[in-house]
Structure 1
Amino acid sequence: MNHRVTKDARKDAARIIDEALGFLYPAALRVAAAVGVADHLTDGPRTPSELAKATGTDPRSLHRVLRLLATRGLFEEDGEGRFRLTETGDALRSDAPVSVRSAVLMITDRTFWLPAGEMTRCVEQGASAFEDIFGAPFFDHFERDAETAAIFHDGMASMSDAENQPIADAYSFPPGATVVDVGGGHGGLLLSILGDRPTLQGILYDQPHVLAGHRLNTLDLAGRWTTAEGDFFTSAPPGDIYLLKRILHDWDDAQSRTILRNCREAMRPGGRVLVIDAVIPQDNNPHQGKTLDLMMMASLVGRERTEREFRDLFAEAGLHLSRIIPTGTVLSIVEGEAARDA
């Protein structure tokens, strides 16, 4: 046996070790978001001691966190030990034009973090680890924990802000249509769609505690929207275009079929269902959807899907997948119309 180890073998081993240590980067990113470091760098570079005083943290520990984040270009340390916020890191500010602070806090919340640490259990048992950890399924846990629910809904709104306008611009909505945003949260996508299309009407459909935080009450949308309380597993309001943005990936195929059928049964003749989710490419290239898919596996019961899986799911719900429209984001618009033989 040849016991000599090649240079490439050592390099590969080192790379895998680096990959295993990668979980510490989002941990550090969470720290920066949680204590609001970026908000205190708007006026220029500051030392770790100055930042620690402003954020109520330990200066040596904060310096170590920022030093790691600087390796990814969110902050930059100068020769005098001061940190400045980079153009990329600016999105961590609470008041940034497109802030992702709430999204980072949601993605790295213990509701996602702890189940991800139990992913081996998911693979062995073929089920989410969430209920074993928290004592209830994902959304049931939110119903009894208002603080965690707020983190989730604020985070989803933050995560969506950068996506909504490109998605709205990617689709030609028929003039005069009623657009129903099913499970639409705070209404960010519906706001983007209605804003530039004065002939459209909108319905934001979700549960009462979610609708309480909606963002549709603006002067330019006056008289063109309503909210509707309900459960998408039971029914959907009448309309022409149904939006399902980041909804189906939360649920298994049987539950997703129920949601799609309810939309199909409620939509008017000639209507469309627009599923806005990641469509997983069947290749070996990086894609955010492949990462999100593991989050779904660990914490929920759903998954990200391929084109074939969407086509089959639509057919089982009485819909025909008519086309898939790229949006310039990680999400695509999967358009469905009523199947002729359904």
Structure 2
Amino acid sequence: MKPFDYQHPTDAAAAVRSVAGVPGAVFLGGGTNLVDHLKLGLVEPDLVVGVTDLLPAAIEELGGGGLRIGAGVSNSELAADPRVREWFPVLSQALLSGASGQLRNMATTGGNPLQRTRCVYFQDVTTPCNKREPGTGCSAIGGWTRNHAILGASEHCIAVHPSDMAVAMSALDAQVRVLGPGGERTIPFVDLHRLPADTPERDTVLEHGELITAIDLPAQSIARRSAYRKVRDRASYAFALVSVAAALEVQDGVITDARIAFGGVAHAPWRAYRAEETLRGAAASEESYRAAADAELVDARPAEGLDGGNAFKIPLLRRTLAATLRDLAREDA
């Protein structure tokens, strides 16, 4: 591990100034992702700035049933909060499906969406990787592709985003509050993450030195009837092959509104706008669920690889979406 300097400022604004002033500086929150990367040699910062106890660590109610979640709130605290479980069950379920209890106790609301891909080639410093070293190539293309993207990939990167929480946040129209060198700004959660295009090394739209301070969940009646379904290779402590975060409103057998996001299929949490539009006004039926999946997956491009590729994700995602919507429609019946 390369030696680095460490600072622990007195407040978040000072932490932002410290990181912004050093090109090779990084923030350290719960450390569940960064510490691994330091050990693997994926990152070699010149300066690490601790922010764990500098960020808001409370869940505050906003008007009408919304919530403001401080970036310092742990994943365990957030999943267990009675308001989250009642008002935004999809978020609680997503959090509990990720990592382990010990990691959820350390991981934070501000850090979880910023975790980097678990692509095996990204984590192996002996292999070319455009995300780790731009311009070197993508070893995943034509390699082991089972866990890789079917939506939004590029010729430079086919990695997927690993966060479960981020998929739920995307479906819930969350807003990300950010503090940077130029002051505060708010970013819609669906705009936080980037698709790879020709700059896969950039995971998000955050500028160097910008720090997430809170995430707001707007009040939405539809969110009370929401769920998260995750398909993985083993029952726990595994990343999603595919996942679905969904919320549904049904009246007299007709879908009046829907919110849907996918995980495990793209470089970013994938908000399924086409599926939502297909469902609105349609009957709550298997035919409608299949049509919604087909509309969203029309541009899906599975990757071929040494392991047979990941074309299986397309029918798997269709079935996962249908099962999730079926259960939610039954709740509304």
TM-score w.r.t. length of structure 1: 0.26
Structure number with higher strand proportion: 2
Structure number with higher helix proportion: 1
